[in-house]
């Protein structure tokens, strides 16, 4: 049954959620305080790259099922189910989460809901205890629920329309019933639903991210051991993947994780554990974070070794700027972090990425940028493969051999065909591989 749904915050999470709510049949009104972003969305344009999202959004903007506004008053009048989808970045000078945007939603919306039978649904990743605090700010007749998101950049539309689970943190049967009605087409398709309390719902997302980060850092720690022992971390990961207790996902060693979720979420998780007096329970996450950051330094060290010990007068091609493929998100990007480190050491770095160039230029204006992978490699003394776009996997190492000054490639994602590059005359160096 169709409902009138609002989505507050139209960044990566909110724009995706709004378009997908329209796709499953609801009338949707999205809100953002940025008028330029709202103008873009009203014209059917998404101000970031996510496969399939712009087409979906444009379709429902054109049909009239999806609209956008900057008015909280219009949001309060429009619907009775309001999804809060704002960001929770890392606070300046602290590992804790910055909750100012989450708080602002409630501060602006709650007074307008007095006397209305509304349900406010938080989707942001927040420290445990946040929902309990916000619930106390709801006016009489309005209820809070927590429904964490589990989106993977590059697969956000699929993850919203066909998630592997839905988690409802609720305090009443009525709130659960209303959420089940909103997600009815998704649930009817077979998606399991976990109904729980506020703190458990909040912990599901932070725990999931902490586990994934731990798994990635584990295989990267094994890569360090493999390099010291002369072993091959890729073959090690393949052998481990056949163990059904472990599985193969997130076991690819490389330059480590980045983005707007895992790094800041594990730090916020540690900070919140300290506030709760159980900081020792998450001490291991400090090493998870440290291993991850060490991988970037390792790539810099390998690159310096490849060019003879000094970056001065050397050209370094960096393939990748986004923190992962199928995204233009450069938040905490390992690729750009490595490029910037090398530049500070005197290297002439040149970066190319299929989708993230505009964002990279805004945040790292002093780096040099190329118009293509071939352009980035021209005259390079070493090539760093740091974001595993399919475009880079498809590069012809034979044709590129004549483009570079030195045919040396460091595969920071262990995603290139090592035998193919070596056969073309390149020195190939993977991470944790002989």
Q: Is 226 a catalytic site residue?
A: no
Q: Is residue 22 part of a domain?
A: yes
Same domain, 50 and 171: yes
CB 118 within 8 A of CB 82: yes
- Indicate which residue of 20, 85, 261, 350 is catalytic: 261
Q: Which domain holds residue 62?
A: 4-195
Which bin fits 250, alpha (ψ -120 to 50), beta or left (φ > 0)? left
Q: Which one of 134, 163, 195 terminates a domain?
A: 195
Same domain, 346 and 413: yes
Q: Which one of 153, 168, 195 terminates a domain?
A: 195
User: Using one digit for the tens of pLDDT, what is the confidence trace for 186-230?
Assistant: 999 999 999 999 999 999 999 999 999 999 999 999 999 999 999
Same domain, 223 and 166: no
- CATH at 417: 3.40.50.720
User: Using one digit for the tens of pLDDT, what is the confidence trace for 242-266?
Assistant: 999 999 999 999 999 999 999 999 9
Same domain, 311 and 165: no
Q: Which one of 195, 222, 244 terminates a domain?
A: 195
Selection from 204, 142, 137, 219 nearest residue 175 by Cα: 142
pTM: 0.94
φ/ψ of residue 348, rounded to 5: -95, 90
CA 74 to chain centre: 31
Q: Is residue 329 part of a domain?
A: yes
Same domain, 137 and 266: no
User: Using one digit for the tens of pLDDT, what is the confidence trace for 121-147?
Assistant: 999 999 999 999 999 999 999 999 999
Same domain, 362 and 235: yes
User: Using one digit for the tens of pLDDT, what is the confidence trace for 368-395?
Assistant: 999 999 999 999 999 999 999 999 999 9
Residue 399, token pair as written in the block: 């044709």
Find residue 211's DSSP bridge partners. Answer: none
Count of structural domains within the chain:
2
Same domain, 352 and 321: yes
């Amino acid at each position: 049954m169709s409902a009138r749904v609002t989505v507050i915050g139209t960044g990566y999470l909110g724009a995706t959620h709004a378009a997908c709510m329209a796709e499953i049949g609801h009338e949707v009104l999205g809100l953002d305080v940025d008028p330029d972003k709202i103008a873009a969305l009203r014209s059917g344009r998404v101000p970031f790259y996510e496969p399939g999202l712009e087409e979906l959004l444009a379709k429902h903007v054109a049909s009239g099922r999806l609209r956008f506004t900057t008015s909280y008053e219009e949001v309060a009048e429009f619907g009775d189910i309001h999804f809060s989808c704002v960001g929770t970045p890392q606070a300046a000078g602290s590992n804790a989460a910055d909750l100012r945007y989450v708080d602002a939603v409630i501060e602006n919306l709650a007074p307008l809901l007095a006397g209305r039978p509304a349900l406010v649904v938080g989707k942001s990743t927040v420290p445990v205890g946040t929902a309990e605090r916000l619930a106390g700010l709801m006016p009489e007749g309005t209820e809070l629920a927590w429904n964490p998101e589990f989106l993977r950049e590059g697969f956000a539309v699929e993850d919203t329309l066909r998630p592997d689970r839905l988690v409802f943190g609720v305090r009443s049967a009525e709130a659960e019933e209303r959420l089940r009605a909103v997600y009815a087409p998704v649930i009817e398709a077979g998606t399991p639903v976990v109904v729980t309390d506020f703190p458990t719902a909040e912990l599901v997302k932070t725990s999931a991210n902490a586990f994934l980060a731990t798994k990635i850092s584990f295989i990267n720690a094994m890569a360090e051991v493999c390099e010291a022992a002369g072993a091959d971390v890729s073959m090690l990961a393949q052998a481990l993947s056949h163990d059904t207790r472990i599985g193969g996902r997130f076991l690819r060693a490389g330059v480590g994780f980045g983005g707007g979720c895992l790094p800041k979420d594990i730090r916020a998780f540690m900070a919140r554990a300290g506030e709760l007096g159980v900081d020792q329970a998450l001490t291991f996450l400090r090493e998870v974070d440290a291993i991850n950051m060490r991988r970037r330094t390792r790539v810099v060290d390998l690159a310096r070794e490849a060019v003879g010990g000094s970056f001065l007068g050397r050209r370094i091609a960096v393939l990748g700027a986004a923190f992962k493929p199928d995204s233009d998100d450069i938040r905490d990007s390992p690729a750009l972090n490595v490029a910037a480190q090398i530049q500070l050491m005197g290297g002439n770095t040149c970066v190319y990425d299929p989708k993230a160039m505009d964002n990279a230029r805004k945040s790292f204006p002093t780096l040099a940028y190329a118009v293509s992978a071939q352009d980035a490699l021209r005259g390079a003394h070493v090539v760093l493969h740091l974001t595993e776009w399919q475009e880079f996997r498809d590069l012809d190492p034979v044709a590129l051999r004549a483009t570079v000054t030195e045919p040396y490639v460091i595969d920071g994602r262990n995603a290139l065909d090592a035998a193919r590059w070596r056969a073309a005359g390149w020195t190939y160096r993977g991470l944790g591989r002989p």
